[in-house]
Structure 1
């Protein structure tokens, strides 16, 4: 049978209240008493009950993380960064898969409220008034990762999507490509879809190239299928394109697969650049040149921001993380 706090108190010859104060790092005991209690804990192998401790200090040492897709490589990199910081600080993480359409978000927010989490990390999804209202009622800090809210004043950590795709387009132009197209995310997505498309058009305009919305195909999302199903329609509009900017690495992989089906060689006949730098970018043939988001670091920074807000009770400042181009073999230099 597992030892209890009563067993520790009896072994150390102190009251249960004293053991509780020591476990929760509260004052009211001597160094000698603390040593006796810690020795008793070690000897008995006592494991404090997190629920019971939460009832005492009103802290559960738990945070909630909401992802639209926990199976994606992007999510796993961000989650690794979050968990690294959370575990260093002695906190647990409840991960919630909300679905890409947000069908379960309200349900999971209610669950996190019942679990009395101390803060929430809201990842890669658009914030709505309904969700913001629920979080405000919970009265706990919220930090956004890989997204932001134009309507609600919530701190975030992310890459500047428009600037990052500007850089990707500039890279292609510097490699000699003048006839470019883009397979983007949803146009109505004001957080990632539309800004990335704007970065593409702004780069074309800046370098004096033809820039038209016709050179962009807006899709339903950022998945493999969005790239695979839309390369042929884009090439039917502009059959002489030499390069494609993809709104994600998954989209880029879809483009490369579709090119293979069409008998188009990448990069000899068509160059492709992705966005994210997830692990699949290294695995595909040819290895994918892409815009790297520091996903692991974004998870770490987002978690640090949240714990800082939990500790101080103050809203933290948002952070824009740097992006960079990772050169591999999917872009051909044109002389």
Structure 2
């Protein structure tokens, strides 16, 4: 059986808290006791247990990461950034996938509290009132990642989705497109749904193209749904020359539909995505898209959470990082005639 911190304390003739202080803040222990503890650790070949230290100091150097869909490739970049920042700052991550399920979410809150996570990174979900009440129950520092809340004072890191969508559609307009459609998330999604639709419509409105603002089909989160939405969009609005989508996965569904129906992209219809996931460079044609700085969002979120854990006030409560329009092969000038 592996020796425990209790065994070390017994052999050294000191308390468990003294052993823990020797391991964590040795300068706080008098030399005579420190030497006894160090000798006991060496004699027993004791390997300090991180959780045991956390029970005493209420700090486990672990962070919970709550994401709604681990299959979504966008989170690969975000989690990579989180992981690098966590390693630099001395934390480990516990990944929790909710599948957009409220009961799983609440069970993860409880589990992370039981495991004494020092903080929680809450990604991409809407903070509903009952979610917020659940968060408050555990009094654990929380940073919102790729989402935010205007109702509650919760620190967040994301891009400005409305402005990013506006810039993407403005680019399509600059290429001569006058009939532009959109495949959007539902309007009940105040993070990736409504703001991106509003950016789409603002760009059209400012260029006198209000009619195109109604050329919108809604989908959920999957490639197959976007494939069907593309069919519906082009059936209802056959004059469309460009399609803006609320995610790269949606854009890939559109590209598949165009390929299967022998519609040239970008010769007949241009396609603009949103996210700049890694696969955006692997499609045929390569996908033009809005680049979210996913890695930086993840990294910065951990830095922000670390500050909260250490008692620092959030200097920039709702932090927006810059986006970029990446032009590849899926967009071109509007066809003539």
State whether residues 201 and 211 of structure 1, in contact with CA within 8 Å, keep that contact through their aligned partners in structure 2. Answer: no
SS where residue 263 of structure 1 aligns? coil
Query: Which residue is 1:297 aligned to?
Result: 296
Aligned residue in 2 for 1:257: 256
CA-to-partner distance for each residue in 1:266-322, whole Å, 9 max, x for gaps? 111110000000011011111101000000110011111111001016345221010
Matches within 5 A, 1:49-198: 49-198=49-198
* Structural mapping, 1:303-318, within 5 Å: 303-312=302-311, 314-316=313-315, 317-318=317-318
- TM-score of the aligned structures, taking structure 1 as reference length: 0.90
1:30, distance to aligned residue in structure 2 (A): 6.3
Is the Cα–Cα contact under 8 Å of residues 159 and 323 in structure 2 kept in the other structure?
A: yes
Specify the SS of the correspondent of 2:310: helix
CA deviations over 1:175-194 (Å, ceiling 9, x no partner): 22111111111112122201
Q: CA deviation at 1:170?
A: 0.8
CA contact (8 A) 1:157 1:320 kept: yes
Moved more, 45-54 or 315-324: 45-54
Deviation digits for residues 158-187 of structure 1, max 9, x if unmatched? Answer: 111110000000111112211111111111
- Residue equivalent to 1:236: 235
> Which moves more between the two structures, 62-71 or 164-173?
62-71
Aligned position for 1:216: 216
CA–CA distance in 2 between the matches of 1:166 and 1:35? 65
CA distance in 2, matches of 1:251, 1:36: 63
Tell me, yes or no, if the aligned pair for 2:54 and 2:116 is still in contact at 8 Å.
no
The answer to whether the 8 Å contact 1:123/1:144 transfers is yes
Deviates more, 1:228-237 or 1:283-292: 228-237
- Residue 244 of structure 2 corresponds to 245
SS at match of 1:104: helix
RMSD: 2.6
Aligned-partner Cα distance in 2 for 1:262–1:180: 19
The Cα shift of 1:119 comes to: 1.1
The gaps in structure 2 that reach 5 residues or longer are none
Residues 64, 95 of structure 1: 8 Å contact kept? yes
Task: Work out the CA distance in 2 between the residues paired with 1:280 and 1:45.
Answer: 48
Asked if structure 1 preserves the Cα contact closer than 8 Å seen for 2:68 and 2:97, the reply is yes
1:82–1:303 CA contact under 8 A, matched in 2: yes
Q: Could you tell me which residue of structure 1 aligns to residue 22 of structure 2?
A: 22
1:81 & 1:35 partners in 2: Cα distance? Answer: 40
TM-score, structure 2 normalization: 0.89
In 2, Cα distance between equivalents of 1:318 and 1:46: 45
Is contact 1:24–1:57 with CA below 8 Å preserved after alignment?
Answer: no
Report the equivalent of 2:272: 273
**Do the aligned partners of residues 46 and 260 (structure 1) sit closer, same or farther apart at CA in structure 2, a change above 3 Å counting?**
same
Quote the Cα distance in structure 1 between the aligned partners of 2:224 and 2:250: 7
Q: Counterparts of 2:4 and 2:154 in 1: how far apart (Å)?
A: 42
Say if 1:28 and 1:214 are closer, same or farther in 2 by CA, change over 3 A.
closer
Q: How far apart, in 2, do the equivalents of 1:114 and 1:324 lie?
A: 40
